[in-house]
Amino acid sequence: MAIGIIANPASGKDIRRLVSSATTIDNYEKVNIVERIVKAVIALSNEKIYFMPDSFMIGFTVIDDLKISGEDVSNLEVLQMPMSGSMYDTVYAAEIMEQLEVGCIIVLGGDGTSRAAAKGLKRKTPLLSVSTGTNNVYPRLVEGTVVGMAATALTHMDDVSKCCIKDKRIEIYVNGVMKDIALIDATVSADDYIGARAIWEAKKIRAIVASRCHPASIGFSAIPGAMTIIKDTDDIGVCVIPSENGTSVMAAIAAGTLEKMTLGDPVIMKLNEPLELTFDEKCMIALDGEREVKVRPGEKIEFKITKEGPYRVLVRETIEEAQRLGFFRTKDK
């Protein structure tokens, strides 16, 4: 089975480099990470690999580099698809890769990139999210070589259920119409334009809904995480709203940035049960940290936690299962 690779060239460069101490990942480093992934795949079984095309030409650069170093690049292919230079490239690439029935899609980027890929997936194509930055909850920091090993192993397994987990997601409805989804958190802030996308001013936050939360996370889910812990496997979500008479907590809303927030009690959200909110000012809903959905005063917003999230690859479990199945043993001595 083939493997899909989506590497977002735009991740790791936004305003968080200014408003917090987030890492800058240059695109050359992304090329290096992808090369390490691909080399592991080629070494283990040389599966077909599809790359999302992008403006930095990460896929083509990787193919060229590997060709020069004598690798067999006959199974590497950059998808031919129209490009918009926006997150919809990722959505669309994930959709095409799923149609091509890849055994796994590797996504490199931040929470936003994983969210975009998740939007494109309709079936149970396993999603392996790799972090390329500091502000992430959904993608994990894993060495590219190991990512390539896990993805290859996965495509050789008959049953991947031990290696994957069906994720929750947050569905956002405005006036009864589903507008968008988030994987980790949906944060309402008193902004009235998309601007530089990220949000970083705690005083503008009006509500936070999270599908999971932990005080060790970086981002807005760390705020409810400071009061309660909800795991990825728990069938619940949480909502917190700032309240002057509430409890004050410190949380890492961005890399290197701990903010004090005073909150009302966390409201536990059951699966599939919508939680309704309205605000009397213009707001933006930031999805996994990025301003996306505009809301006018008085509009009815509903947040719903569902199990319709992506089918996420657990890298460590996959590698362990592959080892049990003898995947890393070779026939020749």
Partner 1 sequence: MAGKKETIRDLYTTMRRIREFETCASNLFAEGKIPGFVHLYLGEEAIATGVCANLKGDDYITSTHRGHGHIIAKGGDTKFMMAELFGKATGYCRGKGGSMHIADGSRGIIGANGIVGAGQSISTGVGLTILLHKTDQVCVCFFGDGSTNQATFHESLNLASIWNLPIVFVCENNGYGISLPQSKHQKVKDVADRAPAYGIPGVVVDGNDVFAVSEAAAEAIKRAREGKGPTLVECKTYRQHGHFEGDPAIYKPKEEQEAWLKKDPVKRMVKYMLEEADFTQAEVDAVDKAAQDELKEAIKFAEDSPYPAPETGVEDVYDDIVEEVRDR
Q: What residues make contact with partner 1 under the rule CB under 8 A?
A: 9-10, 13-15, 17-19, 24, 26-28, 55-57, 192-197, 282, 294
Least separation in angstroms between residue 27's CB and partner 1 is 6
- Residue with Cβ nearer partner 1 (28 or 328): 28
- Residue with Cβ nearer partner 1 (67 or 162): 67
C-alpha 85 chain-centroid distance = 18
Least separation in angstroms between residue 240's CB and partner 1 is 25
- Residue with Cβ nearer partner 1 (156 or 179): 179
Least separation in angstroms between residue 209's CB and partner 1 is 23
Least separation in angstroms between residue 110's CB and partner 1 is 13
Least separation in angstroms between residue 193's CB and partner 1 is 5
Least separation in angstroms between residue 168's CB and partner 1 is 31
List Cα–Cα distances, 223 to 139, 251, 256, in angstroms: 19, 5, 14
- Residue with Cβ nearer partner 1 (10 or 128): 10
Least separation in angstroms between residue 25's CB and partner 1 is 9
Q: Which two tokens stand for residue 236?
A: 């619940």
Q: Are 267 and 234 in contact (CB under 8 A)?
A: no
Q: What 3-state DSSP class applies to 93?
A: helix
Among 183, 160, 133, smallest CA distance to 317 is for 160
- Residue with Cβ nearer partner 1 (14 or 111): 14
Q: Are 120 and 289 in contact (CB under 8 A)?
A: no
- Residue with Cβ nearer partner 1 (17 or 156): 17
* E strands, the chain, in order: 3-7, 49-51, 76-78, 104-109, 126-131, 164-166, 169-174, 177-182, 185-189, 205-210, 236-240, 242-254, 257-263, 267-270, 275-277, 283-287, 290-295, 301-306, 311-313
- Residue with Cβ nearer partner 1 (56 or 166): 56
- Residues 8 and 52: their CA atoms lie apart, in Å, by 9
- Residue with Cβ nearer partner 1 (19 or 96): 19
Query: For the residues of 220-232, what is the DSSP string, one character each?
Result: TTHHHHTT--B-T
Least separation in angstroms between residue 333's CB and partner 1 is 43
CB-side exposure of 312: number of CA atoms within 13 Å?
Answer: 21
- Residues 182 and 269: their CA atoms lie apart, in Å, by 15
